[in-house]
Structure 1
Amino acid sequence: MSADDVVVAIPAAEDRDAIAGDLADLTVEADGIRAVLAADGGRIASIVAHGRELLARTPWADEPADGWRMTSSNAEWHRRYPGGWHLLAPAAGDPSPEAAVEQPFHGEAAWRTWRLRRIDAGTAVAEVRLRTAPLRIVRTLHVVAGTLSVTTRIVNEGSDEQRIVWVEHPALDGALFDDAELELDGSVLPVVAAPGSAFADHAAADGALTLRSRSGGIDLRMLWDADLLPRLCLWQERRGSTGFPWWGQVDAVGVEPASDAYGTATLGSGSVRIAAGAEQESRMLWEIRPRG
């Protein structure tokens, strides 16, 4: 079963031509689930379900922005990384010197300030127009009846086909994995105990991941379009890195559906093709239930 097999009514969300909205964070909630959408990076900054925070948050997440930046975008990303759930596009990973247009680490979309607007109590929209590619991105966050969905539409406003990398990058609170089982497409994945760290890139043919967290009292099932995002990157940083940038203080597990194997970073080499004037849409669905 994929995210498209589950019917969730999403209110009409956006004008298909104009970008409008505010920069202040928005909160949406329904039926015991509350989520915060942030303009910074267009990320989901928080998802609280049945009283439990699901997303990782670094100790410096609330530090004010400063004018100084590290020369490497990789280093700067990690220096200021707040946690939460980003979209990585039109590239991911380290920038490539072969790219026709320079990209920062993890792609322009995750670095930009997005415009936000509320549709109703359970629905909000984030939108941005990229400058390194002729792409407009609209993300609709919707919460209802024990589910949270993120629907993303990427529109090619240029005159040529665009080939991009697309990665959903939610980082979960590592404490959820203290006593948990993680299953991808029916196979159990190894979970790193804290302190420790690991990274793996898995095939994800069915687009279904289940977390059974006894420590968090939550069962979480993630569904996505595996035709578009056939890989899953599993990043586990469970206070295992004592040097820069984590200093042994970050406990996060990234479960990241991806269009391409990790390392496909060059803009123009990704597997997602969007014809001139066309658009690509996809939805990621979280089914969240309290245990017991």
Structure 2
Amino acid sequence: MRRNWAARLREITIEGMRALVLENERLRVTVLADKGGDVVEFLHKPSDTDLVWLSPQGLRRPLPPQAADDVGAFVDHYEGGWQEVFPNGGAPSVYRGARLAQHGEVAGLPWSVEVLTDTAREVAVRLAVRTRRLPYRVEKTFRLASGTAALEVEGRVTNEAPVALHAMWGHHLAFGRPFLRPGARIRVPEGVRVIPHATSIDPRGRRAEELFTVPPPGSPSEIVYLTGFDTGWYEVASQVGLRVEWDAEVMPYLWLWQELGASTDWPWWGAAYVVGLEPFSSMPTDGLSAAVDNGTAMLLGPAQSRTSRLRVEVIA
């Protein structure tokens, strides 16, 4: 029976693409099954605040994978939102003869959908996809319980080859207006270090301040890497609060990316005001080959799986 109360689940179509809406009394979360399993809405209903950043260009159906061998193909179809990034993080890369696109492969692929739970107490759906250039299977399960303001995401990646393979795995969480405002504060655990963007790890990484402040529009673009998490979490304090928790053993790095309007050429044209806070297995944002070279890439043996958990909660 279809419900319009408590936890509920709907299937809709957006720009010709299959999407799922997980909803309860406090949250509405929209997931694009036909485009990477992207989260394109994370609406806190009591404050009417959507935490997801949406690109000014809007949502476009992605190109076929064979056409997506560069940065432009990803950016042309980047609607903002929150992406699963696997098995390549950041710039295009060549790994063992396979050309991997920007943040490729799974962010541009359609995922299958299986409804696991659909009750007034909880809804849960499992999305799954196989990569096309490397032999991986990726799954992620979204759960939303009645009465909570927290989305639970359980991920699993499996190497289906008889040989060991590397990968980068991350959550490309990008925050924008109306949630993100100048002066919003970012809090991370004590003892976390900041590593500047470089092609290799700097072991002398600076200590992170406990509180960061989101700069005003027009501030310079930046990307840095945070590491040293005993427990994976961060909080953002704006007009509503946000807490993100993840498995720091699986994803020991947090990429902090900001584009605040200073870039007036392609692709942002001065129109972006966005901060990404992205748990990742590896660094830097130079692609899988660079992560293999610096020793941060994940290694999965034949038929081996790795799992991770992510929890995103609004703190009103």
TM norm. shorter chain > 0.5: yes
Q: Distance in 1 between matches of 2:143 and 2:134?
A: 27
- Percent identity over the alignment is 25
- 1:203 corresponds in structure 2 to 227
Q: 1:114 to 1:192 in 2, by over 3 A?
A: same
- Amino acid across the alignment from 1:202: L
Paired AA for residue 150 in structure 1: V
2:128–2:139 Cα contact (<8 Å) kept: yes
Aligned match of 1:126: 127
Q: 1:140 to 1:234 in 2, by over 3 A?
A: same
Q: 1:41 — aligned with what?
A: 36
Deviation at 1:63, TM superposition (A): 4.4
Counterpart contact for 2:92–2:286, Cα < 8 Å: no
CA distance in 1, matches of 2:63, 2:251: 35
- 1:55 CA displacement: 0.3
Which amino acid is the alignment partner of residue 207 of structure 1?
Answer: G
Partner-residue secondary structure (3-state), 1:148: strand
1:287: Cα distance to partner? 2.1
How many residues align? The count is: 265
Query: Which stretches in structure 2 are left out of the alignment for 5+ residues?
Result: 1-16, 191-209
Cα deviation digits, residues 119-176 of structure 1 (max 9, x gap): 3263222210112111111111112222111111111221112221111101111442
- Counterpart Cα distance in 2 of 1:133 and 1:259: 18
Q: Normalising to structure 2: TM-score of the pair? A: 0.77
How far residue 115 of structure 1 moved from its aligned partner, in angstroms, is 2.0
Would the aligned equivalents of 2:68 and 2:101 in 1 still touch at CA under 8 Å? no
Cα distance in 2 between the residues matched to 1:131 and 1:64? 18
Name the residue aligned to 1:193.
216
When residues 279 and 108 of structure 1 are mapped into structure 2, their CA distance, relative to the original with a 3 A threshold, is same
The amino acid of 2:182's aligned partner reads D
Once residues 285 and 225 of structure 2 are traced to their aligned partners in structure 1, the CA distance between those partners, rounded to angstroms, is 10
Contact 1:25 1:116 in 2 (8 A): no
Asked if 1:249 corresponds to 2:271, the answer is yes
Query: What code does the residue aligned with 2:150 have?
Result: T
Return the alpha-carbon distance in structure 2 between the equivalents of residues 139 and 64 of structure 1.
21
Counterpart contact for 1:26–1:118, Cα < 8 Å:
no
Go from structure 1 to structure 2 and tell me whether the alpha carbon gap of 1:64 and 1:278 turns closer, same or farther (over 3 Å shift): closer
Query: Where does 1:144-183 land on structure 2 (aligned, <5 Å)?
Result: 144=145, 145-175=148-178, 176-183=180-187
State the Cα distance separating 1:227 from its structure 2 match: 0.9
Paired with 1:112 and 1:63, the residues of 2 have a C-alpha distance of: 13
Contact 1:209 1:222 in 2 (8 A): yes
> What residue in structure 1 maps to residue 309 of structure 2?
283
What secondary structure sits across from 2:276 in the alignment?
Answer: strand
Distance 2:130 2:224 in 1: 32
Q: Could you say which structure has the greater relative contact order, defined with CA pairs below 8 angstroms and 6 or more residues apart?
A: 1
Question: 2:57 pairs with 57, 60, 65, which one?
Answer: 60
1:174·1:253 contact (CA, 8 Å) conserved in 2?
A: no
Q: What CA RMSD, in Å, does the superposition of the two structures yield over aligned residues? A: 2.4
Q: Which residue of 2 aligns with 1:110?
A: 107
